Structure 1
Amino acid sequence: MTLRTLTRRLALGLVLGLAGGALAGAPAHADTKLKVVLNWKYQGPQGMFFLAQDRGYFKAEGLDVSFDQGNGSGAAVPLVANGTYDMGFGDINALIELVAKKPVDAPIAVYVMFNQPPFTIAVKADSPIKTPKDLEGKTLGGAANDGALKLFPAFCKLAKIDCTTIKITNMQPNLREQMLMQGQVDGVFGYVNTIRFSAKMIGVGEDKLRYINFGEYGMDLYSNGIIVSSDLVKSKPEAIKGFLRALNKGVIDMLKDPDAAVAAVAKREPLIKVPVERERLDATLKAEMNHPEIAKIGLGNVDPARLKLAIDILVDANNLPTTPKVDQIFTPAFLPPVADLPKSLF
């Protein structure tokens, strides 16, 4: 072997060795990171998200998903719109209002979880307030980003009451039930099951409260769903599909084993009262997620005609500047096949 040949072989070996070392040291393809804001503090009905996370469903889709607690279903929408989060579990009606006012680069809903209207005004059981008309001249309280509070002008119009005579007081969410029971306000805004079980947590029985439910006065609205940013739709559509496939598996697991779902929440927030959160989950399934339409279209999907009616109600009642189209609010493009969506919750 000549010196030149030996030199070439040594050089080639060095190059291959360096290349192999570089490849061995190179990181594997990183998972797509997604930041998600929830609707509220950690509670039983959020168990579907954490089951999907704990059981590796997001990871299997190549996703690295992080969840943050929310501060109201309405608050999730602007946080996704301004890019703080990629996704949110937020109120569809707040999304309709946003799209009506600022349609350019607005988020869009891709999986609607709560298909029955949970919006309510809670009053004490012995209150003289029996009907919406009785609210006139009274003081009502709610968190600034509460979905029911944001819908109150629409409720006033449909229920034919004079909103201008009603005083609205903003309060911290954790003080809502206490302020109601102490008589500091005459009624409070919220989701029925949020109020019911938050009251239970402070020792207030169900017999101590009554509810004026928006759905009983013509507001057959959708509520919370997965909302994604316009940037994510454009840049990572496959990540959205993967997220929904994983989440849908989490929903199915939650329906099969509600105790496991609540346990997954308790891992994140050990201070929750597990029996109460299990009751809250059961009540949410029955009252907020169990619209008869899911037997045909599946949980996560929407009825376009019903959503159009909801859009029209909000635009008219709130004098919104434009009327969004259904496909500006919701798209089924990222959903798993309808055959894979839950058709029954019980």
Structure 2
Amino acid sequence: MRAIRTNAIRSRLSVLLAFMAGLCAVAGFTAKGVLAADDPPPPLAIQFSLDRPIDAAAAPFVMAATGGLFSAEALAVTTNIASGSSDAIARVAAGSSDFAVVDLNALMRFRDKDKQGGPRIKAVFVLFNQAPYAIIARKSRGVRALTDIEGKTLGVAEGDLSVRLWPAVAKQNGINIKHVKQSSISAAVREPMLSAGQVDAVTGFSYLSAINLRDRGVPADDLAVLKFADYGCEAYGFAVIVNPAVAAGKPEAVKGFVRAVIGGLNLTIKDPARAAAEVASRMDGGSKDLELERLQAILRDNILTSEVRRNGIGAIDPARFERSIDQVAEDFKFQKRPQTSDIFDDQFLPPLNGRLIN
């Protein structure tokens, strides 16, 4: 009898030990599962295209990278350089780049010509609230105001984006464009030709050509920088676009990219000298002082506008954007006039308090 009891006790003990071992195994598995869930996911590899060689306009992206803001959003961003906005847009369309910064007005034209079916590329963040389009002229050659351009020679570089809005600006200001001699020139000789007096004025970006000319020795008081925005041009400028598949499949990554760029812009505004130095260090023979001058002009004229200070960075005013489409149409015949929602998608922007500039 005692033997039977002993065996029964041993049997119960074995069952109890087995049960406890099972509990421990389950607990161990659960603990491992919790630890695994707490491990940060590996960063998502992102290809990002600049539409031109790096300069001060890229400062927010550079500062987002150096400040660890992309990493904080679990993004591993690799930057490549395209040969212009059309090339950068094509890379995003093909999927070889996930994001790009491009001229928003070039995106309108690209989409209108795009024959591919399926989702279309849209902008998700506007960096330049005002386009940098301008005519840069020599006062010593008789051009002090926009109306002085009639009867003069205007140098236009191949691929220049400013000239696409010139017909609308001319019309708005009562200038007969037929009375302006337009000379096609290479972008490489745009500033040298104006410096040498071979043309009276050139189209270009205000923060590029004007500062390049001063760097070439043209006196600042001899330059007239006629910014289209001061003459009724409603166009927005550079914007971030995203591949449609990325937008649909990885919306949190798109939101994270936008947040990082806004953070990079705030770092740029807080310390423009450091931002200019970071940009110059990534250029071949870059000058910190020159890029700082460019950056200050960009912040003043193109980014920190009254609209941005009121409504935050990154968004658009739909009514203004509709007017800008009409201005683009002065030089470009749309197959189908786009609506604002065809070009810009605001769903990836942070709330207003996340877009206000400090």
TM-score, shorter chain, exceeding 0.5: yes
AA partner of residue 182 (structure 2): K
Cross-structure match for 2:49: 37
1:343 aligns with 2:335: no
- 1:2-47 Cα offsets, whole Å, 9 max, x none, are xxxxxxxxxxxxxxxxxxxxxxxxxx96532222222432222322
Paired residue secondary structure (1:37)? strand
Amino acid at match of 1:306: R
Equivalent in the alignment of 1:7: none
Mapped to 2, the partners of 1:184 and 1:78 lie a distance apart of 35
Alpha-carbon deviation of 1:72? 4.4
Q: After TM superposition, list the pairs within 5 Å mapping 1:208-247 onto structure 2.
A: 208-247=222-261
Q: What is the alpha-carbon distance in structure 1 between the residues aligned to residue 109 and residue 258 of structure 2?
A: 24
1:61 is the counterpart of 2:76: no
Q: Are 1:91 and 2:106 matched, yes or no? A: no
What residue is the counterpart of 2:185 in the other structure?
A: 170
1:316-331 equivalent positions in 2, closer than 5 A: 316-331=330-345
One-letter identity of the residue aligned with 2:124: V
Amino acid at match of 1:93: N
**Residues 46 and 265 of structure 1 are in contact (CA less than 8 Å); yes or no, is this contact kept in structure 2?**
yes
| Alpha-carbon distance in structure 1 between the residues aligned to 2:223 and 2:238 | 24
Count of residue pairs the alignment pairs up: 316
Q: Does the residue aligned with 1:179 lie in a helix, a strand or coil?
A: helix
State the superposition RMSD in angstroms. 2.5
Q: Which amino acid is 1:234 matched to?
A: A
Q: Which amino acid aligns with 1:262?
A: A
SS at match of 1:189: strand
Instruction: From 244, 251, 259, give the equivalent of 2:265.
Output: 251
Shift of 1:51: 1.4
Deviation at 1:169, TM superposition (A): 0.9
Residue 17 of structure 1 aligns with which residue?
A: none
Which residue of the partner structure matches residue 213 of structure 2? Answer: 199
Deviation, 1:120, is: 0.7
C-alpha distance in 2 between matches for 1:29 and 1:127: 61
Partner SS for 1:333: helix
Cα 1:210–1:97, aligned 2, differ >3 Å: closer, same or farther?
same
What CA distance in whole angstroms lies between the structure 1 residues aligned with 2:288 and 2:331?
40
Unaligned runs of at least 5 residues, structure 1: 1-27
Partner of 2:347: 333
Superposition deviation, residue 178 in structure 1: 0.9
Deviates most, 60-69 or 79-88: 79-88
Contact 1:153-1:318 within 8 A present in 2 as well: no
Partner in structure 2 of residue 272 of structure 1: 286
CA distance 1:310–1:179, change in 2 (3 Å): same
2:295 corresponds to which residue? 281
More deviation, 212-221/52-61? 212-221
Identity of aligned residues (%): 33
Residue 274 of structure 1: CA displacement? 0.7
CA distance 1:77–1:128, change in 2 (3 Å): farther
SS in 1 for 2:335: coil
Q: 2: CA distance between counterparts of 1:170 and 1:79?
A: 27
Q: 1:142-200, CA deviations, whole angstroms, 9 ceiling, x for partnerless residues?
A: 4433220232333344344454563341313x432112111333321111111122223
After superposition, the C-alpha distances for 1:189-225 in whole angstroms (9 at most, x for unaligned) are: 1111111222233222322311333223321221111
- Alignment correspondent of 2:304: 290
Shift of the alpha carbon at 1:130? Answer: 4.6
Alpha-carbon separation, structure 2, partners of 1:139 and 1:74: 28
Cα distance, 1:132–1:84 mapped onto 2, change above 3 Å = farther
Matched, 1:118 2:117: no
Give the whole-Å Cα distance in 2 for the aligned partners of 1:75 and 1:199.
27
